[in-house]
Every structure is written in C-alpha cells, then in structure tokens.
Structure 1
Amino acid sequence: MENIGSKIFGLFVIGLLATLLYLTVFSDGLGKAPNVTVTGTQGQSITLNKPMKPVLVNFWATSCPGCIKEMPDLAKMKQSLGDRFEIVAISMNYDPTEQVEKFIKANPYPFTFVMDTDGALAKAFGDVLLTPTSFLIAPNGKIVYHQIGEVQFEMVTERIKQLSPQI
C-alpha cells in the first residue's frame, strides 16, 4: 500500500514539473500585447505589440483614488529608470475628456497620456473594467506582468531592469 502511494505522489510531482516547464518555456505566459498603436496627448506614438523597450501600460481614471495615489510613485520610478522603459497612462472611456485634460495639465508626469474615448484600448487588453490596472510589456511584445490594483513597484522595477540590461 505504501508503495502505491509513493508512485502516485511521484507521478503527481512529475506532472506538476511538466506543467511548470510548459508554462515557462513553451507557452506565451500572460499572452501577447494587442496589436495597437497609441498616440499620446503630445503626439508621440508607441506600437504596443512591438515596443522598442519595456512599456508599462496603466489604465486609470480621475475618479480612482488608487490611480491618483500611485501616479507620483510611477513618476519616481520613471525618473529613476529613465529611458529604460516607457509608461503609457490610458484614461478610461467613462472619464470626461475635460476632466482628464485638466488633470494632465495640473500634473505634468513623465508619461505618455492616452485617452481611450471609445473604450477600444480597454477592450483590446481583455475588457479592462477596474482601475488601476497595469500591464508590463516586454520588447518582444509579451505581457510579463499584469496587476489589477496598485503596481508592485519593487517587482516591476526589477523586471524592467532584467528586460533592459543594455541601457
């Protein structure tokens, strides 16, 4: 009886290891970024599924206290890492345009601000409904981090450093 239990446990461990191997080596992990190009309020364009460097996409709203709270920390992360990555802050379609423009003018953060006026960007990222929601996109276009809620800054900073060691 003891021998059968050991064999079942061994098979379970082998199956678990095989699954982990598949997920880390052969699968797309969190998937590919959608094939969209965003244009910021200053006219700059970024193709999200083929970025030149890591891109942190952050869906936010002026009515979201967590979004507003994390923006200064996002700015500090951008200032400390400089050109190693970009931040694309996408306002939700339910946010009034005038309110978003007023916020951006009052808070000149070092981000590319994009207004998702028709909801197409939120839909392209899997129907984002909650804010803040963030995605870190690697230079190969794969999503390597996804967070609903405030960004885990230490984890994301380390991941960006791994994705852009040459800079």
Structure 2
Amino acid sequence: MNCGYKFTTYENLYSTHNVKNITFYNLESYHLLANMIKTELNINNFNLIKDKNHLNITTPSVQIINVFENNNKIDIIQNNILTKFQLTLKIKAKIIISSTTHTVNIKINRYYFTNHSMPLTRDSEIKNLRKEIYQQAAQQLVCKLLNIIINAK
C-alpha cells in the first residue's frame, strides 16, 4: 500500500537549471522552519546570500509570509484514556524569480494518539512529529522552488 508521498532526490532537477545564489527571508531567522529550509537549500547546492534590505532584485528569493501550526483534538477513545489529535502545519511563501512573484501554499497534516497515563512519551512524540512536518514542509518548498526555476526558463 502506498501513502502517496514520493521521496525524491533533486539532483536531476538541479542539474537542469543554472540558479546558484538565492536569498531567504524569514522574520524569525532561528525558527525551526527557517533552519530546515536553509538546510534543504544547502543540500540542493544553493548559496544563501544575505540581503537584509531586499535590494538585490537580480537574485531569486524565498520569503516566508505566514506559518500556522494547529493541534486539534479529534476523538476520545477507550474511556478517556486515548485521544486522537491532528497536527496541522500551513505555510504561505513568496518566491520571486526574474521579477515575477509566485505564491506557494503548503499544508501538512499528521494524526497521532496520546495515552494520558504517559505524558512524557506524548511530549516527546509531539516534538518528533513537529520536526517531521517542518522537515517535509521545507522539502516541499524547495521542490516547488526548483519547479518554478525550471518552468521560468
């Protein structure tokens, strides 16, 4: 059975474009998402250029506009012992290439169960899930960036 998510390497995509430098803007530069995106950009051989004043219009840029994380209780199971939750991450970003602006929306959902008799396990599980969805969001953002670069030719 397939979950529908494909793990890909971007080597083939990267070899077909010539963009080497990119600027990345995020209001919270040490946020988990910002760190994950910077890592993904580095993995895909982009050089991060610092441009605090947004003056360099020739270098493509990625800007995070909005990040929304929500943790909703979905269901209570087995006499209030198990609870099902939905962790949602929504990201809105702006990618500017050749003075053309592209808006990118990413949404990731994860479901998990908690056992109220083991709170430390629950906290550890939620922390790992958050890292996982932020990593997936960063991968999706860089993949969309590469697709926009390739289609802009």
TM-score, length-normalised on structure 1? Answer: 0.30
**Does 1 or 2 have the higher relative contact order (CA < 8 Å, sep 6+)?**
1
More helix by share: 1
More strand by share: 2
